[in-house]
Amino acid sequence: MRYLQLTVRCEPAAAEAVADLFIRLTGGAEIHDPRDVAAALQEGRWEATDLEPDPSGLVTVRGYLPALAQQASQRRRLARGLSRLRRLGPGWIGRLAVRPVAEEDWAEAWKAHFRPLSVGPFLIVPSWDPVDVPAGALPLYLDPGMAFGTGQHATTALCLRWLAEVVPATGRVRRAVDLGTGSGILAIALARLGVPDILALDVDPVAVRVARENVARNGVGAHVQVVHGSLDSAPARTWREGGPVDLVAANLTAGLLAGLAPAIAGFLAPDGVLVASGIVRERREEAVRGLAAAGLAVEEEREQDGWLAVRVRPLAQPARQG
């Protein structure tokens, strides 16, 4: 299948606002931050000979649309949205570049750079490059394709490490939601940690397909249900009726997190916990205000490469004792 690759370069201060726009209009967004590249090269997670940091310091945001005639209206809406953002002035935003790309070309090109990676107790293993898994490590076999989530990005790594702490410490996480599952990495990680009933949601049909493939690849299909839609979808509402939701994992932007906070609060059990990431430092207050307005209190924050993750609980509720 052929897609249109939509690309915008912008200053870091504008990156999350641009990504929010891409997510609303294309169903997903990639954020290529030169700070992430520099950190990956330093830590040996990518081949330095093939990937170099961008000296301009600009962030690249990309999204994809099927190359169909009826997508022209979405491209126009995206261009208008970028014009509005430029007037609001969160930072310099470049022009929208559009080019056709085959899904197979995009999905295969980066494989030369993706290596096995340890994040907390997890070993993230490219499906095409199997390795011996050390005793005690929790393997996550992934082929992300065009979906977000390899563990290389700071936001995913922050979530993985925190889930590895929260689930054992709580001791009673029976039902969990991975909101914006992408490649399915967080849902699979929750299954590896022993959570028996997980709902993985994404509004991007390509991500849903990829997540289902990765769930099957990891043999956790009995524990993870991947659904196209968000918390207000009929399958999600039906799943919610099955019992209290002990944990929600959400690797989203600050704007999306704030907008979805009321729905998240409605899903969480009174003593449940939300682990959220994808919040760029400059938009922390927006996320915290949105969570607080929905009755959710930030208990702890962590930061990596300019990105924040938060641990959140419903207000005025005691933490469940393990």
Token duo for residue 162: 């925190």
Q: Cα 175 from chain centroid?
A: 19
Half-sphere exposure of 30 (CA within 13 A, CB side): 24
CA proximity to 67, closest of 22, 5, 3, 146? 3
Helices marked H in 56-149: 72-88, 103-109
Neighbours of 84 (CB within 10 A): 10
Q: How far apart are CA 34 and CA 154, in angstroms?
A: 12
Is 156 annotated as contributing to ligand binding? yes
Pick from 228, 248, 224: which is nearest to 236 by CA? 228
Sheet holding 296-304, edge to edge: 224-228, 197-202, 175-179, 245-251, 268-280, 307-314, 296-304
Please answer whether residues 309 and 158 qualify as being in contact, where contact means their C-beta atoms are separated by less than 8 angstroms.
yes
180 is in an annotated binding site: yes
What is the DSSP code (8-state) at residue 119? Answer: E
Exposed (0-12), middle (13-18) or buried (19+): which is 321, by Cβ within 10 Å? exposed
Q: Phi and psi of 57, rounded to 5°?
A: 80, 0
Q: E strands along 25-58, which residues?
A: 30-32
Instruction: Tell whether residue 272 is among the known ligand binding residues.
Output: no
Do strands 122-126 and 138-142 pair parallel, antiparallel, or not at all (unpaired)?
A: parallel
Quote the distance between the C-alpha of residue 44 and its chain's center.
22
Does 49 carry a binding-site annotation?
A: no
Q: Could you list the residues known to form a binding site for S-adenosyl-L-methionine, using ranges.
A: 156, 180, 202, 251
Q: Could you list the residues known to form a binding site, using ranges.
A: 156, 180, 202, 251
